[in-house]
Every structure is written in C-alpha cells, then in structure tokens.
Amino acid sequence: MLRVRAPGRVNLIGDHTDYQDGLCLPMAIDREVEVRAEPRADGRVVVRSDAVAGVVDLPAEGLPDPRVVRPEWGRPVAGILRLLSQPGRAAIGFDAAVTSTVPLGSGLSSSAAFAVAMVITTSRINDERIQPGSVASIAQEAEQAATGVPCGAMDQMTSVFGRAGHALLLDCRTLQTEAIRIPPAAAVVVVHTGVARRLADSAYAARRSACEAAAARLGIGTLRDATMRDVADDPYARHVVSENARVLAFADALRLTDLARCGDLMVASHASLRDDFGVSTVELDALVDALTDAGAYGARLTGAGFGGCAVALVASDQVDEVVAPAVARYRSATGLVPTPITVRAVDGAGPVA
C-alpha cells in the first residue's frame, strides 16, 4: 500500500500576483490530502474520496479531454494520468482512497493538494521518479485543463516545497523559493467565513485577462515589470504592482519579527484586494474587521477571494482572546457560522513512511 500526503496552503500575503510573474508569501499548513493506493491488474484507475460523492473510474492512460469526466472532481485525475503516460509503455492501474482535512471551497487549496498527491501517487505506482518542480507544474497543468481556470503556480509550489516552521517567499517568475522563519511569537489563524468559494464560478479568469491586457498596453510581458507610475490609473494592475511591494516588505518585517508591521501590510493588502481588485465580499470584510478590532496584528482575505477564508496574524499567547470575540461578532453580524483554525507550517508533499 502506497501512502502519499500533500498539504493545503494559506497565503499570508501576495494574492493575484502569481499569474503575473509576481511575488507571494504562502505556507504549507497542517491540513492535508492523503491518498492510499495499490496497483490493480486491469489497467483502470479507480478513485474514491471520503469528502465528495461518486467514484472516478478511468483508463490508466487518462483521457484527452478531462472535462468529460464525471464526477467532476475526477477531472484533474484524468489530466494527470494523460500527462504522465509514456508512449510505448502500458500505464499501471490502481485503486486509490482519498481522505482530506483541507476544507473544501475555503481558499486553502484543497484542489491543488489533491492534484499534487495524485501526481506523486501516479508516478510512484508507475515506478517513475519526477523532480519536485515537475510535480508542481504537472499538477498545475492538470488543474487548469480540468477546470478551465487559469490558476497560477503558487498553490502547487507551496504544497510541494513547504517547509516546517517557515513561510515561502516565492518568485513566480523564476519559481525560486526562500524559506522565511515564522517567529514563535506569531500564530497564524485561518477563519472560514461560512461562504464557499468556487473559482470556476467567479470572476477569477476575468481578472487575469484584465491584468494581461494591462501588461499588453504597457508593452511588457507581465505586470511584474510595471511601476506604480505605470499603473496609477488602472486599479487591477495597481493592486498587482503594490502587492508585490507589500510581499517584499512583509518578508523583511517577518525576518525582523516586526509583527506589527506585518499586520499593517496585511490590512493594506486586504484593502487593495477589496477596493482595487474587487475580489472581497461583505462577509470577508466583516470578518477581517472583527479580527483586527479584536487585537490581531492584521488580517486579510486569503486565496482568490469571492468567499472562503480570512487569515490573521495573532500573538501566540493571545489566540483565544482575539479569535473568540471576533468569531462572536462576525456570527452576530452575518448570521453565518465561522470556523477558526490555528495552523502550523509543515513540510511539503511526499510519500508517507
């Protein structure tokens, strides 16, 4: 029996920058997808999940168009099998059982963790060893093909390259990472708004297209090369450029254990995502305000927005004192039931001994 785990991620700062060759600062978290698999002799791949209904049953070579697969959650599997198939070599089928502690639709990258775990599982079953960077890129390509959402590389890279006790400063142009220690004095708290997010149903693709159009108008490949002066009159592009600067400032502050500065940058990031990029919601705004007013250093939406979670940076010895009143206030204001989770930074994906 092969066991493979892949963690979800929370992004501390730097959203909607990855698909513009930008910078972000995520961390892999102690919520993960686990796949248990064993070979079967009939050339089929059969996958079951404890989190979603339906059984995925596919040829081990995958399918040319994963979007025809039912149930829908099996579409990335079809893409992964296709991308990893070797001409002239019969792919090995397998049974796989999937369990997950990453909340679905939360913005914590359950889909990326699933794809990364399935890439590693499929390669191991077929006795292939692929490099970690290739694991991330194959998972990203399969997810894009399966959903039609042009996701960037941050989620998959974080799931693969996460490091315990550290956030990752990720350069999405070079795909280089730098592990930055999270001080023991800081706790990272994720709070689900109670509103699920689905990227395929959101304006994510439209925002990406708008950023690409802005770069084209400026005559540059991506907004990574733009200045604030270049984008002063374009709110979408202005968010990307300003967010890259905030990521670098946050990384510097984290190195210095300047948690108050980190918090200020998170609040500024949320304001930019809300006002310039237009991806926040009434619920996310209410939750961020409740967390900061209760004493968090800072808070912001995390992930693509349009629902899901907020992330807060809190003093390690004050988590209960901050989270309990914030959750109570949010619940009273919205009628929704928020779910707080204190998360730790963990190592990236791989087989479980």
Give the pLDDT band (50/70/90) at residue 148: confident
Calculate the alpha carbon distances from 319 to 10, 293, 296, 337 in Å.
17, 13, 8, 18
Contact between residue 31 and residue 8 where contact means Cβ atoms under 8 Å apart:
yes
In this prediction, residue 150 carries a pLDDT of 78
Whether the predicted pLDDT of 347 surpasses 60: yes
Whether the predicted pLDDT of 152 surpasses 90: no
Cα–Cα distance, 248 to 295 (Å, whole number): 24
pTM for the model: 0.93
- Percent share of the chain, pLDDT over 90: 89
Radius of gyration of the chain from its Cα atoms, rounded to whole angstroms: 20
In this prediction, residue 199 carries a pLDDT of 59
Contact between residue 166 and residue 179 where contact means Cβ atoms under 8 Å apart:
yes
Cα–Cα distance, 171 to 135 (Å, whole number): 17
Give the pLDDT band (50/70/90) at residue 140: very high
Tell me the helix, strand and coil percentages in the chain, rounded to 5.
40, 25, 30
Predicted confidence (pLDDT) per residue in 234-269, tens digit: 999 999 999 999 999 999 999 999 999 999 999 999
Predicted confidence (pLDDT) per residue in 167-199, tens digit: 999 999 999 999 999 999 999 999 999 998 765
In the 8-state DSSP scheme, what is residue 237?
Answer: H
Whether the predicted pLDDT of 201 surpasses 70: no
Lowest model confidence (mean pLDDT) among 40-44, 199-203, 321-325: 199-203
Average pLDDT estimate for 99-125: 93
Contact between residue 76 and residue 47 where contact means Cβ atoms under 8 Å apart:
no
In this prediction, residue 202 carries a pLDDT of 64
Residue 62 is which amino acid? Answer: G
In the 8-state DSSP scheme, what is residue 45?
Answer: E
| Catalytic residue (one of 18, 155, 230, 289) | 155
Cα–Cα distance, 352 to 306 (Å, whole number): 34
Give the pLDDT band (50/70/90) at residue 87: confident
Average pLDDT in the chain: 95
Q: Is 233 among the residues known to form the active site?
A: no
Predicted confidence (pLDDT) per residue in 271-321, tens digit: 999 999 999 999 999 999 999 999 999 999 998 899 999 999 999 999 999
Residue 279 is which amino acid? Answer: V
Whether the predicted pLDDT of 200 surpasses 60: no
DSSP line for 105-155: TSSS-HHHHHHHHHHHHHHHHTT----HHHHHHHHHHHHHHHH-----SHH
Domains of the chain: 2-175 (3.30.230.10), 182-343 (3.30.70.890)
Give the pLDDT band (50/70/90) at residue 106: confident
Lowest model confidence (mean pLDDT) among 54-58, 83-87, 283-287, 289-293: 83-87
In this prediction, residue 304 carries a pLDDT of 87
- Percent share of the chain, pLDDT over 70: 99
Q: For residue 71, is the peptide bond before it cis, meaning its omega torsion is within 30 degrees of 0?
A: yes
E strand intervals along the chain: 2-13, 23-40, 44-49, 55-59, 93-100, 166-171, 176-181, 186-192, 298-302, 309-315, 339-343, 350-351
In this prediction, residue 198 carries a pLDDT of 64
Q: In this structure, what token pair is assigned to residue 283?
A: 């619920």
Which residues are within 8 A (CB) of 185 and not within 5 positions of it... i.e. 6 or more apart?
A: 257, 259, 315, 316
